[in-house]
Amino acid sequence: MQTNVDVSSTPPEIDIVLMQNLRTNTPWTTAQLAYLPDGIRHSSSRHIIIEFKYTESITLDAAKALIGYEYFFRRSHNLEEEDVQSFLVSAHRPILKTRELLGYTNLVHPGIYSSPSPFIARTYLIVLSELSDAPYNTFFKLFAHQRKAKQAALISFETNHQTKVSVEVEWMIRSLMDLWTITGENPMRAITKEDLLKRGQELPRLLLPLITEEEFAEVLGNTPFMQQLRDELLGKGREEGLEQGREEGLERGLERGLERGLERGLEQGLVQGLQSAIELGLELKFGAAGLELLPEIQPIAKVAVLRALQQALKTASTLTEIRQIYQPQE
C-alpha cells in the first residue's frame, strides 16, 4: 500500500490564462476585444484558461486533463466555479465521433461548440479553421492547421491589423507564415519569440513592395551590398578615369571616370533591388501564377518601368493589369 502518492513528477502547466477586470462596466476593453475570438470574447468569467492543441487531435484524455487543470487552478486560487471558464482550442478539425463522444454538438458560434455534459459544460471547444472571418478572430485563426484558413487570416491581418501593431509583432507573424510555407504541414516545433524576431529580421524584402522610393533608396543605401558596390565602383571608376586621362588629362579623366562608374553601378544596384522586390511581390500577391511573369520582367532594365511595376503591385488585382505596364496594348 502507498499513501500520499504523487500523480506527476512535475506539476502540470496551463498553456494560457487570461484575466478580466470585472470592476468595470465592460469586462473586456475595446482594444482587447480586437484580439479576442468568438467564445472567449463572450465569456463573463474572471479567469479564462486556454489549452491549445496544434500537433495533437482533440481526445477524451485531453478534455479530462483540461477539467483537472481547471479544478486545481480554482482550488489553488480560491475561486468559485463561475470565476473560471476553460477553452479547448484545436488547430485541427476534430473527428466527428470524438466531438459526439464529448458532446460537442451544440454550435454556439461558427467554430465554437459547447457540451451538455455536466463535466465539461463550462469547457468550450474552439475549432480554429471554422471560425468566421471577423477581424477579431484573425490572430487565433493564424494558427489553424488548414492552409486556406491561415492564408485567409494573413489577408485579414494585412487588411485590418498590420498598420496598428508593432514592427516586432508583424515580424513574428511573417516569420510564422514563412516557416509554415517552407515546412508545409509538419508538426510545430518549440518556437520562441526570439526565434521569430530573428527570422523576421532576415526577411526585409517582404516590405519592399510597400515602401516609397525615398525609403527604398535609404534602406538600400545602408546595406553592406551597396557599400561593397560603392568600393568596387570607385576602383573601377579610378581605372576608367586614368585610361581616359591619357587623352583628356589625368585630373579631368579621373573625375569623369568616377562619376560615370558610380552612376552605372548605382543604377545597376537599383535595378537589381527593384527586380527582387517585384519578384517577391508577385509571389505574395499572385502565388505561382505571378512568378510565371518573371521571364518577361527579368530582361527589363529601365528603372522607370520597374518602378511602375512596383507601384502597380500595390493596387493591381489581376496579372493582366501588371502585364499592361510593360506590354501596353496598341
Sheet holding 112-114, edge to edge: 16-19, 47-53, 84-90, 123-127, 112-114, 106-109
What is the rounded distance in angstroms from the CA atom of residue 164 to the CA atom of residue 186? 31
Residues lower than pLDDT 50 in the chain: 183-187, 206-207, 210, 330
| pLDDT of 211 | 52
The answer to whether the predicted template modeling score (pTM) of the entire model surpasses 0.85 is no
| pLDDT of 223 | 55
| pLDDT of 41 | 92
What is the rounded distance in angstroms from the CA atom of residue 92 to the CA atom of residue 103? 18
| pLDDT of 247 | 57
Indicate the length of the chain as a whole number.
330
| pLDDT of 327 | 78
Cβ atoms of residues 325 and 312 within 8 Å: yes
| pLDDT of 330 | 46
| pLDDT of 128 | 93
Helix 167-183 vs helix 193-201: crossing angle, to nearest 10: 90
